Amino acid sequence: MPVVENNANAIPEDWEPKIIAFCCHWCTYTGADLAGLNRMNYPANVRVLRIPCSGRMNPQYVIEALNKGCDGVLVCGCHPGDCHYVTGNYYARRRMMIFKRLLEYEGLEPGRFQVKWISGAEAGKFRDTVMKAVEDVRALGPINLTREIPYFELPAMPDDDEEAFNAVPEEVFPEEVNA
């Protein structure tokens, strides 16, 4: 059975949260670059995937990420009013508000899916957002959604971070075993 509350005990010691950040090219990605230029330090658990605009953000990417192995998802774009493409983030704002509520309705903890507007100048905000997201997800522990990745006992690849991968618990319902 998936456990959500007080599962701090269940968190494997060497577990590290995996978080994917979808960042718009014009603002947040620029802000993340600026964080680099300023040599800011933030946790490495976040990997940035560049999209042209937060309006390009298809909710299906989020489901894929959560289904396939990420513990958290960040979506970042320009501040409303600053969209390079004028209106993209307004659409994203609506879509993501609805989608976030839907995911939380299905039991996803709010910390696992976050949306933030970060401008190209807000390197500090980018760093803080990443730190906050990592903190939040770390506190929540490995994701509690059932994933069925079919590679149960594959030999480890030489370069593979197999432990982190195996740390994902295999939650399977009894009826699926039956099926």
Partner 1 sequence: MSRIGVFLCYCGSNIAGTVDVEAVAEMARTLPGVVYVETNKYTCSDPGQEGVKNAIIEKGIDRVVVGPCSPRMHEPTWRKLLADTPVNPYMLEVANLREQCSWVHKDKAIATEKAKDLVKMAVAKVARLSPLHSTEIPVHKKALVIGGGIAGMQTALDIADAGFKVTIVERETSLGGKMVMLDKTFPTMDCSACICTPKMSEVGNHPNITVKSYSEVESVSGYIGNFEVTIREKAKYIDYTKCTGCGACETKCPSKVINEFEQGMSKRTAIYKMFPQAVPSKPVIDAEHCRMLQEGKCGVCAKVCPTGAINYQDEDKLTTETYGAIVFATGYKLIDWKPLYPEYGGGKYPDVITGLQFERLVNASGPTEGHILRPSDNKEPKSVVIIKCVGSRDPNKGKAYCSRACCMYSAKHAHQYLDKVPDGRCYVFYMDVRTPGKGYDEFYMNTVHDGAQYLRGRVSKIYKEGDKLICKGEDTLTSQQVTVAADMVVLETAMVPADGIDELAAKFTVGRDADGWLVEAHAKLRPVETNTAGIYLAGTAQGPKDIPDSVCQAGAAASKVIGLLNKDKLESNPQISRVNEALCQGDGACANICPYGAISIVEKQFRENSRKVTRPVAQVNPGLCQGCGACTVTCRAGAMDLMGYTNESIMREVDALCQW
Partner 2 sequence: MLLSKQNLMPLLNSLASDVDVFVPTTIDGVKKFARLADGVEPDFDMINTTMPPKDLLFPQTQKMYHFDVDKNGSYHIHEYDESREQIVFGIRPCDMRSIVCLDEVFLTKGFVDEFYANAREKLLTVSIGCTQAAETCFCTSMGVDPIYAPNADVMLQDTGDAYKVTAQTPKGEAAVSAWSEFLSDGDAEPVNCDVTLKVSMEGVVDKLEGMYDSPIWENLSIKCLNCGTCTYVCPTCHCFDISQENRKKDGVRFRCWDSCMFSEYTAMAGGHNPRPEKLERERNRFMHKLNFFERRYGMSLCVGCGRCVEKCPVALDITRLIDDIGSYEVAPASAE
Partner 3 sequence: MSAQEIIRARAKELLESGEIATFIGWEAGRFTNQTTPLVITDAADAGKLVFNEYCANTLAKYVTDVLARGKVGLVVRGCDSRAIVRLINDKVIKREDVYLVGVGCPGMKDRKTDEPLKKCTECRHNNPLVFDEMAGENAEKAVPEDRFAEVKEVEAMTAAERTRYFESIYAKCIRCYACRDVCPCCTCRECFVDQRRENWVGKQNNVAENRFYGLTRVMHIGDRCIECGECERVCPMDLPLMKLNRKVIQDMNDLFGEFESGLVISAEPSVLTTYELTDREEFM
Residues forming contacts to partner 3 in the complex (CB under 8 A) are 1-5, 59-60, 63-64, 67-68, 79-81, 87, 90-91, 93-99, 101-109, 115-117, 144-148, 150, 173, 175-176
Closer of 37 and 179 to partner 2 (Cβ)? 179
Which of 13/155 has CB closer to partner 2?
155
Q: What is the DSSP letter of 119?
A: -
Q: Does 158 bind partner 2 (CB under 8 A)?
A: yes
User: Which residue's CB is nearer to partner 3, number 156 or number 172?
Assistant: 172
Tell me which stretch binds partner 2 (CB under 8 A): 88-96, 110-118, 139-147, 148-156: 148-156
